[in-house]
Chain A
Amino acid sequence: MNKTLIAALAFVSLVFPASAESISDRVAPCLACHGERGTSATENTPSLGGQQAPYALIQLFMFREKLRVFEPMNEMAKSLTDDDLRTFSDFIAALPKPAPPADAADSARMARGETLAKQNRCNTCHNTDYSGKENVPRIANQREDYLAKTLAEYKDNSRHGYDATMADVMQTVGKDQIGELAYYLAHYR
């Protein structure tokens, strides 16, 4: 993955000086990792398609301000203007949302994940179909590895949310349950 990122970064530094480019030129380096059509095939890297624009805007802002730390993204976002952030988040929201994995999900794991999701009332903020709303992200059919990584980061407080909701919610979710939640949300239909 790192090679791709370095390549993408090199590409960014090459193309950014020319500011008259079209949005599709400008997002090309983003999509190189995050997936051409909104669905990521890159390990630990989220699909962006159908993401809530206000959420995407908050994340891009946090990357730019280093409130969310992930070096490649901090580097990517560092020179973006407020208008750039809005343009990119609107573009992301308009990409097709990721589809559920084609393979049939393990029904026992799905049941366990569903129970956990209901116990923790994920559907209150993330919407009843986990499509998210406003500043709360779409998590339905997100990459399973990324979901698990993110939940773990919220749990050990290495990822600070914009507000503190996820840190609080994750306090009582066991490490072993994170995998079940991620599996369920990734395979949600």
Chain B
Amino acid sequence: MPAISFASRRLLLAGAVFGAFTLSAVAQQPASPPAAPAAQPLPPGSPMIGRPDNEAAAKLAPVAPPPIPAAADKLPLAKLKVPAGFNIEVYASGMANARSLAQSDKGTVFVGSRLVDKVYAIADKDGKKSVKVIASGLYRPNGVAFKDGTLYIAELSKISKIEKIDDVLDNPPKPTLIYDKLPKDEAHGWKFIAIGPDNKLYVPVGQPGNNVLHDADHGQIRRINLDGSGAEVYAVGVRNTVGFDWNPETKQLYFTDNGRDWLSETVPEDELNRVTKAGEDFGAPFCYQGNIIDQELGWGKDCKNYTAPVGLMGPHTAALGMRFYTGSMFPKPYKNAIFVARHGSWNKSQKQGGDVVLVKLNKDGTVKSMEPFLTGFLEDNKYVGRPVDVMQLKDGSLLVSDDWNGAVYRITYGKQKVAAK
């Protein structure tokens, strides 16, 4: 079937003709299966919603990573570039679909996953690192957070915890459920989680599709007490945030949010948002990037009624994990700047993102500049790796997770002892 035209009008017409044809067939043969309805909306979670009818768009579909983590000697380390004076090394590998990062007070690094069922721990014993699976059989356990000895894990629709995790790394108990009043939608259902300066656990619930209206349980960031009680909605109009952190000076929450697909190659851009008061509305799915009223759902809406982003992160770039840099290893200009992992686009003919960028802020907390920091994951319009999350270690070095290769890299500054291979 060469070059199917994606002209939907023609398809719909054809559908109507087929429909009429089948109806008479049904009349003659009551036993034959019922006819296809002439037009049917795509399911709300379908990534195809909003796709225009043309060949270039038809070539685009979400990109899935390989299921098997790359062997340590097959990682694209040699292709990765950092600014002068910085070094990058492999921190740990062999963790299929390594996603969000968290760190215990004893230096254990926890790594969530989305397409497999595992949470990993990278244990560090006298400089010797080993990877352990500390939970398996979980459903899309993307989110991890740590506080006072306890590891919190976010699956698609529930949050659970393992207490005194550092003491039980070799023989961890099953996680204990603390909260499951969450929708079960697959689309944008996987979760990044983090614990705020108010000691509450922040839990996002994405909008259940590319560009959809939804009920009051979606499109938001909630916060709950660490025992699962006291859930409240903290921000709304959030399409799908997969990374957030608190400004170390103002304690305000900053979060990335992914813009809708299929509007165009160049807009909307992903957002970097700042919450200045609880309950703020960030616009999705009515207003994107602070100044684009959605062509389908935005009628009767006005962007001025929503909080605009403080920064734009590029179209379809999938800005995910982000953290403020508070360490002292990197040079002064990095202090209190934000590292943002951009997973990289699928909804764009020429892929964009697939890097870690540095966002510097003005005194008033707005964005001053954005510059590349870690690049090289994108080669000939294909990914050789895809960064998901960033996290500062206690020594001020920066970890970057890569779900394409199932690895975590470490970036240092200045002359470092070369870590053991």
Chain A interface (Cβ within 8 Å of chain B)? Answer: 54, 57-58, 61-62, 65, 67, 82, 85-86, 108-109, 111-112, 114-116, 118-121, 123-125, 128-129, 134-136, 160, 162-165, 167-172, 176-177, 179-180
Q: Bound state CA distance, A158 and B394, in angstroms?
A: 43
Contact of A164 with B45 at beta-carbon distance under 8 Å, contacts A172-B40, A177-B36 already known: yes
**Segment of B64-72, B289-297, B330-338 engaged in the interface with chain A:** B64-72
* B376 on interface, CB distance cutoff 8 Å: no
Q: Bound state CA distance, A120 and B35, in angstroms?
A: 15
The 9 closest A-B pairs by CB, nearest first: A164-B186, A168-B45, A171-B43, A61-B67, A135-B64, A111-B18, A172-B43, A108-B25, A125-B61
Which residues of chain B come closer than 8 Å to A170, judged between CB atoms? 43
- Is the CB–CB distance between A111 and B22 below 8 Å? yes
Q: Bound state CA distance, A58 and B68, in angstroms?
A: 8
- Is the CB–CB distance between A172 and B41 below 8 Å? yes
- Is the CB–CB distance between A124 and B48 below 8 Å? yes
Question: Which B102-146 residues sit within 8 Å CB-CB of chain A?
Answer: 115-117, 139
Contact of A123 with B4 at beta-carbon distance under 8 Å, contacts A165-B47, A168-B43, A168-B186 already known: yes
- Is the CB–CB distance between A108 and B32 below 8 Å? yes
Of A61, A118, A136, the contact of B15 (CB 8 Å cutoff): A118
Which residues of chain B come closer than 8 Å to A109, judged between CB atoms? 32-33
Pairs A–B under 8 Å by Cβ, sample size 9? A54-B66, A115-B36, A121-B46, A134-B63, A163-B115, A168-B44, A168-B186, A170-B43, A172-B40
Residue of B nearest to A125 (CB): B61
Question: Which B61-87 residues sit within 8 Å CB-CB of chain A?
Answer: 61-64, 66-68, 71
Of B14, B51, B68, the contact of A82 (CB 8 Å cutoff): B68
Taking the closest CB of chain A, its distance from the CB of B13, in whole angstroms, is 11
Chain B interface (Cβ within 8 Å of chain A)? Answer: 1-4, 11, 14-15, 18-19, 21-22, 25, 32-36, 39-48, 51, 58, 61-64, 66-68, 71, 115-117, 139, 186-187, 189, 209
- Is the CB–CB distance between B64 and A67 below 8 Å? no
Residue of B nearest to A122 (CB): B48
Q: Bound state CA distance, A171 and B187, in angstroms?
A: 12
Which residues of chain A come closer than 8 Å to B189, judged between CB atoms? 164
Residue of B nearest to A128 (CB): B4
Which residues of chain A come closer than 8 Å to B45, judged between CB atoms? 164, 167-168, 171
Q: Bound state CA distance, A113 and B47, in angstroms?
A: 21
Taking the closest CB of chain B, its distance from the CB of A58, in whole angstroms, is 5
Which residues of chain A come closer than 8 Å to B48, judged between CB atoms? 121, 124, 169
Q: Bound state CA distance, A43 and B188, in angstroms?
A: 36
- Is the CB–CB distance between B66 and A124 below 8 Å? no
Which residues of chain A come closer than 8 Å to B44, judged between CB atoms? 168, 171
Contact of A168 with B187 at beta-carbon distance under 8 Å, contacts A121-B42, A162-B115, A176-B33 already known: yes
Which residues of chain B come closer than 8 Å to A61, judged between CB atoms? 67-68
Taking the closest CB of chain A, its distance from the CB of B391, in whole angstroms, is 24
Residue of A nearest to B47 (CB): A165
- Is the CB–CB distance between A114 and B18 below 8 Å? yes
Q: Bound state CA distance, A176 and B35, in angstroms?
A: 9
Q: Bound state CA distance, A8 and B248, in angstroms?
A: 61
> Other than the known A163-B64, A165-B46, what 14 A-B pairs have Cβ atoms closer than 8 Å?
A57-B66, A111-B18, A112-B22, A112-B35, A118-B15, A123-B4, A134-B63, A164-B187, A165-B47, A168-B44, A168-B45, A168-B187, A168-B209, A169-B42
- Is the CB–CB distance between B67 and A108 below 8 Å? no
Taking the closest CB of chain A, its distance from the CB of B66, in whole angstroms, is 7
Contact of A119 with B40 at beta-carbon distance under 8 Å, contacts A108-B21, A112-B18 already known: yes
Contact of A134 with B36 at beta-carbon distance under 8 Å, contacts A118-B11, A128-B1 already known: no
Which residues of chain B come closer than 8 Å to A65, judged between CB atoms? 116-117
Taking the closest CB of chain A, its distance from the CB of B217, in whole angstroms, is 18
Which residues of chain A come closer than 8 Å to B41, judged between CB atoms? 172
Which residues of chain A come closer than 8 Å to B71, judged between CB atoms? 82
Q: Bound state CA distance, A67 and B15, in angstroms?
A: 37
Taking the closest CB of chain B, its distance from the CB of A20, in whole angstroms, is 22
Taking the closest CB of chain B, its distance from the CB of A54, in whole angstroms, is 7
Taking the closest CB of chain B, its distance from the CB of A60, in whole angstroms, is 9
Which residues of chain A come closer than 8 Å to B62, judged between CB atoms? 163, 165
Q: Bound state CA distance, A2 and B46, in angstroms?
A: 36
Q: Bound state CA distance, A108 and B27, in angstroms?
A: 13
Taking the closest CB of chain A, its distance from the CB of B310, in whole angstroms, is 31
Q: Bound state CA distance, A109 and B34, in angstroms?
A: 10
Which residues of chain B come closer than 8 Å to A134, judged between CB atoms? 63-64
Taking the closest CB of chain B, its distance from the CB of A110, in whole angstroms, is 10
Residue of A nearest to B3 (CB): A128
Which residues of chain B come closer than 8 Å to A58, judged between CB atoms? 64, 66-67
Q: Bound state CA distance, A31 and B15, in angstroms?
A: 40
Residue of A nearest to B24 (CB): A108
Taking the closest CB of chain B, its distance from the CB of A87, in whole angstroms, is 12
Q: Bound state CA distance, A67 and B187, in angstroms?
A: 19
Contact of A115 with B66 at beta-carbon distance under 8 Å, contacts A168-B186, A172-B41 already known: no
Which residues of chain A come closer than 8 Å to B36, judged between CB atoms? 112, 115-116, 119, 177, 180
Taking the closest CB of chain A, its distance from the CB of B155, in whole angstroms, is 13
Q: Bound state CA distance, A162 and B189, in angstroms?
A: 14
